[in-house]
Structure 1
Amino acid sequence: MTKKLNTVVLKKLRSLRYEDLDWKTVLFILVVLSVFIRFPFFFRDYVDRDESTFILMGQSWVNGHLPYTQLWDLKPPITFLYFAIIIKIFGKSFFAIRFFGAFMVAITSLFTYGIATKITSKKIALWVGIFCVFFQSLFGSLQGVMSEHICTFFFVAGLYILFLKNDPKWFFTSGLLLGLSVMTKLNMAYPVLFIGFYFLWQGFYENHAWKNIKNLVFMGLGFFMTIAFIVLPYYLQGDLQIWWESIFEAPLAYSEGKFHSPLKTLPFAIIILGLLITGFTLKIIDWKDKKLQILSVVIMGILLSFMQAGKVNGHYLIQLYPFILIPLGIAVAKLPPIQKKYIPVIVILLVLIPMESYLEYGNIISNKIKKGTFFNGEGIEVPAYITEHGLETKNIFFTEYHIGYWVLDETPPTKAATHPSNITREELFPYMDNPRETGMEELRYIMEVIQPKTLVARKGKEIFDKKLVNYNTYIDEYLEKHYILEASVGRGLIYQRLE
């Protein structure tokens, strides 16, 4: 059976004429692949806690509150706008949020394919696009919709325009898209600046400085027009200060936090830059190619932003993948051709790449058989238990599974508790207009003044980072004295306050 399948696949590969590919065919391939890989995660309560926070912020916007005015999180507002638009149109739908996320991944990969076709063959470009889907969807908590997915989509689209056109109106359009990228995740300002410096250098080096300066002026107009549209509702509402502090000042304070250090990211940056320099030195990739030069300065800009942030989470790499996959694809294509006898092995390895997805397909089928629904996870099951047993929801505190606020149509007890970990990030308090000055003061206020009737935690996990001993000691002792464990739902622990 396997031999027959391999024969069919080989025939398909041999019959595929890459040069006949059009963008519609490539889009179809990428959408099918993206949806197939990500589909079983459409039913998960959350994959990464940040996504839950973005959903809460989006819902708050739908309810009439601009970001940072009712709830607060450390991202620019376009991140929340994605979720707000989907919630406004489709209601509270995990499926819709994840489906459009899968489509966005496919479109990002299509633009990556488009950029690659300007540098190399359609064959290499197609495989770059396919692996772009893989790397944006697998190997960590990437199956949800992260701010990196959104900002990379806008950035790659803007960069594709720069590769395609070379006149002011298209530079203006690119500026709009790059502005949206930065207003989704602020660190993308670094590669935008690097692109600007590159075009200035190129203009002076090739004696057409005025043309490049004119183009950059139009790009800048587009960029700042995006920011102007975003700031306008805050200006009209008289909330300019909180807009400025939340978007620009808070990230700087966060990067200087106690758990962040540029030295942590330095080895990673050295490895990536080392591979890039090696490729150019050995002439595996052509340094004289202007488009590869642009990709290189983008990569350097993103790496510098990682160093400034002082850490590299797995989902941060989404920003990097489209740009490193293109030179990597060019380099791999220069290796000796794969012998025919090894092609079945390569096919099997490609089929096995989405193993996380296969396991999740099994999970949702098992959940459907046992519980009658594909939707799964404590972020869904704990709120269901709370509703079914008539527990207090008006006054509730999720230290874990905080997507439960959304499911129950409730809000966190304070701004700082929008994302539970923000309670301990006291360096951010001045920028979220928080009246309390320290994390312990905030936690005491929630537990002793607000006094949540219901509290949700996670079995086998400290409520706060294990390094924060004083926080965990306080809340563990407080729970023991003032709360009783009502129920255990999966790994979710539901506590009720004693009268």
Structure 2
Amino acid sequence: MVLFLTSFLIRLPFFFRDYIDRDESTFILMGQSWVDGHLPYTELWDLKPPVIFLFFAAIIYGFGKSFFAIRFFGVIIVALTAFFTYKIGETAHSKKIGLWSAIGCVLLLSLFGSLQGVMSEHICMLFFVPALYLLVHYEKLWAYCLAGLLLGLAVMSKLNIAYVVLVLCLYLLSLDYKEKKPWIGILHLAGLTLSFVLVGLLTLLPYYLHGQTEIWWNSVVMAPIEYSASQQNPIYKTAPFCIVVLAFLFFTWKRRLLNFKDRTVGILTFTVLGIILMFVLGGKVNGHYLIQFHPVFIVLFVEVVSQIKILESKKLLRYLPIVLLLLPMESYLEYANIIKHRWKQGTFYNGEGIDVPNYIIKNHIETKNILFLEYHIGYWVLGKTPPTVAATHPSNILREALFPYYKNPRVTGLEELHHIMETLKPQTVVTRKNRRVFDEQYEDANTYIDNYLENHYKLIETVGNANILQRLERF
């Protein structure tokens, strides 16, 4: 209950914001499409496994179009993840270590940047951390089978965690080999693997029944491989993070602050090493990627910190409640924001993704043919869909390497953009004020869209940071 209340109070003011991260908006659109009767990747498309969209579809199906419901389930996800972090910490050392690890987990999964939203990494860890607890706490076949199901759901939520699962399985097998129980290890691994594969087959089943297995294969397996190959970043981008973590592990080993012969510590350590491998192969580390790192590493970190004598000083402990109260500063600022917005606008709900659709509806602006190049959660609020499959997430318009995997008839991103603007001719376009539509590396696309909007559209209103443009009648 403490973990739930902490998570709830930290995340509550963000229940009313239109969108916190563009990916979350895309997940909502994909979930709504599923509720409307379209399997993922058939009407709309995004580069994520299907369990993510199932999660959002289930909430929308049960509670309708509710930002509050989606964000509330985010609270439950964080609280449950933190609870199993507590159980792992308790198994590794003590209830005290478990409790501090769990509180740290809530804070790290809820603060800074886009973490107040419901990200794919949050959902992934909802399954991964309980699986890790089963593998840490039990050495029974049933636990491995159940862990396999949970790990399958984790991978079908965020594919990159598969690297971590592989490292973890190899380490578990090595433990049984060292204990001269190789056949038991093989049996355990077989149970885990069969359960893991079962989850993948269950996600394939709806497509098989509809004769669309190729769509599943291309979207869930082939497209991520292609995307990963096309997004190779220099290793130096992940090097600072990896060096710091590896230095921490080396220091704790050298000073004997952690017992690496202990089963729980060993499993956590190799899970951390698997996550480092995942980041290196992915080529980048950002705020919401670290959601996959925090619940595992925090247990090791708290156990080490608890051994630093100076931190046990009564004087320092007096300031700890103050520090904990100051950490959720983002939440306090957001509480002030929603209260101010409620006073001025008469509603807690805020943001251009809500205000722009409300303005459009109030002023009877064309919505039948509309394009959101920013704030695309507006499609959901208006009950509309993007003009093309590639436009589900605005950045996907230029991800031409992925076009073949959902049979997009256009070959290049510029061709897709030309098709949207010159063939479909959206009557209303929404962009962000004083910001280029696409990332800086897409200079040709930015030049084209800037010139096209300037010559064929007029600005009719600016709502917050959103520009609402309407097509000139002569075009």
Q: TM-score, normalised by structure 1?
A: 0.93
Q: Which residue of 2 aligns with 1:141?
A: 114
Task: Give a deviation string over 1:404-432, Cα, whole Å, max 9, x none.
Answer: 00000000011111000111111111112
User: Could you tell me whether the CA contact under 8 Å between 1:242 and 1:433 is conserved in 2?
Assistant: no
Q: Does 1:208 align with 2:197?
A: no
Q: Distance in 1 between matches of 2:332 and 2:230?
A: 38
Q: Which residue of 2 aligns with 1:494?
A: 468
Paired residues, number:
472
Q: Distance in 1 between matches of 2:280 and 2:415?
A: 31
Q: Distance in 2 between matches of 1:428 and 1:261?
A: 22
Q: Distance in 2 between matches of 1:338 and 1:195?
A: 34
Displacement after TM superposition at 1:259 (Å): 6.8
Q: Which residue of 2 aligns with 1:398?
A: 372
- Specify whether residues 224 and 129 from structure 1 end up closer, same or farther in structure 2 by C-alpha distance, changes over 3 A only: same
Amino acid at match of 2:104: F
Task: Give a deviation string over 1:36-80, Cα, whole Å, max 9, x none.
Answer: 000000000011110000000000010111111110111000011
Displacement after TM superposition at 1:226 (Å): 0.8
Task: Give a deviation string over 1:401-458, Cα, whole Å, max 9, x none.
Answer: 0000000000001111100011111111111221111110010110000100000000
Displacement after TM superposition at 1:258 (Å): 5.2
Q: Does 1:482 align with 2:430?
A: no
1:68-467 pair list within 5 angstroms: 68-257=41-230, 260-336=233-309, 337-467=311-441
Amino acid at match of 2:441: K
Q: Which residue of 1 aligns with 2:16?
A: 43
Q: Distance in 2 between matches of 1:245 and 1:344?
A: 56
* Shift >4 Å, 4+ stretches: none
Q: Secondary structure at the match of 2:429?
A: strand
Q: Distance in 1 between matches of 2:420 and 2:194?
A: 45
Identity of aligned residues (%): 54
Displacement after TM superposition at 1:339 (Å): 2.5
Q: Secondary structure at the match of 2:461?
A: strand
Amino acid at match of 1:168: L
Q: Distance in 1 between matches of 2:456 and 2:229?
A: 36
Displacement after TM superposition at 1:299 (Å): 1.1
User: Could you tell me whether the CA contact under 8 Å between 1:263 and 1:307 is conserved in 2?
Assistant: no
Amino acid at match of 2:449: I
Q: Distance in 2 between matches of 1:259 and 1:42?
A: 35
Q: Distance in 2 between matches of 1:419 and 1:396?
A: 14
Q: Distance in 1 between matches of 2:241 and 2:313?
A: 33
User: Could you tell me whether the CA contact under 8 Å between 2:259 and 2:265 is conserved in 1?
Assistant: yes
Displacement after TM superposition at 1:344 (Å): 3.0
User: Could you tell me whether the CA contact under 8 Å between 1:72 and 1:418 is conserved in 2?
Assistant: yes
Q: Which residue of 1 aligns with 2:27?
A: 54
User: Could you tell me whether the CA contact under 8 Å between 2:372 and 2:431 is conserved in 1?
Assistant: yes
Displacement after TM superposition at 1:267 (Å): 2.7
Task: Give a deviation string over 1:195-214, Cα, whole Å, max 9, x none.
Answer: 21112211222100101110
Q: Secondary structure at the match of 1:148?
A: helix
User: Could you tell me whether the CA contact under 8 Å between 2:371 and 2:430 is conserved in 1?
Assistant: yes
User: Could you tell me whether the CA contact under 8 Å between 2:258 and 2:304 is conserved in 1?
Assistant: yes
Q: Which runs of 5+ in 1 are unaligned?
A: 1-27
Q: Secondary structure at the match of 2:113?
A: coil
Displacement after TM superposition at 1:261 (Å): 3.6
User: Could you tell me whether the CA contact under 8 Å between 1:262 and 1:309 is conserved in 2?
Assistant: no
Displacement after TM superposition at 1:254 (Å): 1.4
Q: Secondary structure at the match of 1:219?
A: helix
Q: Distance in 2 between matches of 1:94 and 1:304?
A: 35
Q: Distance in 2 between matches of 1:76 and 1:70?
A: 15
Q: Which runs of 5+ in 2 are unaligned?
A: none
